[in-house]
Structure 1
Amino acid sequence: MWIQKTLTLKPRPRGFHLVTQELLGQLPELGRIRVGLAHFFIQHTSASLTLNENADPDVRRDLEAHLRQLAPDAAAHYVHVLEGPDDMPAHIKASLMGASVSVPITDGRLGMGIWQGIYLGEHRNHGGPRQVVATLQGEAREA
């Protein structure tokens, strides 16, 4: 069985945001799969998806703080500046973090560890809604 849908994540401010439940809320089909793979791909070059700890909010703050040091806004050496001081650093951060995550599906649920969640890395000050293509592939559960 193959299922593919384009999901919309609500707009968020710059930073890292747990979006696992928002994604799952748009994928009731996941419950039909006994064993398989879920792949999530963000269709933007200034935002990212990553898998990380879902319990301590300090992880989100530290990820953002570290990336701001790695790729600061308005650095003098940026050439791509027409879309604002946060645009080029957003592209750098998105490339570093990645555009997709893959998670096993086990008995109709994502097979993540107990302390894992899917993060949206919003790297623009005002990124807007974000589109994520979700592809589910697997063997159907018995009815």
Structure 2
Amino acid sequence: MRNPLIIERVRTISGSFAFIEHRFLRHGFWSSLSHQELLLYFFLVMVADRQGLSFYSYDKICTLLTINVDEYILARDGLLSKNLLAFDGTLFQVLSLPPEPVHQTRLLQNEEDMRREDPATIHQLVRQFKEGRT
């Protein structure tokens, strides 16, 4: 066993409770998530209680993570579909890790897919609508 570099600063759990299984990295969960999904997942792990529950609202989450609502929705829905998170509309639960990560690689194949799925395209369409250019 190695000795800590700074003995006075060894981490301990003294207040809230948060942990990430090492399997999250070793088994490919990390690489299966987008940047926004990782950000939201780690935030929810950090603020959750021992059962993984958190009551943060979407506007507070967006403000704290400096992401917009579209990014939040995509990240939340991605975590739900990857079986890492449960959500009832007001309450989040970070779930225990499933046996293997869910990799979703559905390719966008046409203009309709781009309008419906691509965040950059969606953002561009919303901006054009707001500017009255549609």
**TM > 0.5:** no
Task: Give me the TM-score of the superposition, normalised by structure 1.
Answer: 0.27
- The structure whose residues are more often strand, as a share, is 1
TM-score relative to the length of structure 2: 0.28
Larger Rg: 2
Q: Greater relative contact order (Cα 8 A, min sep 6): structure 1 or 2?
A: 1
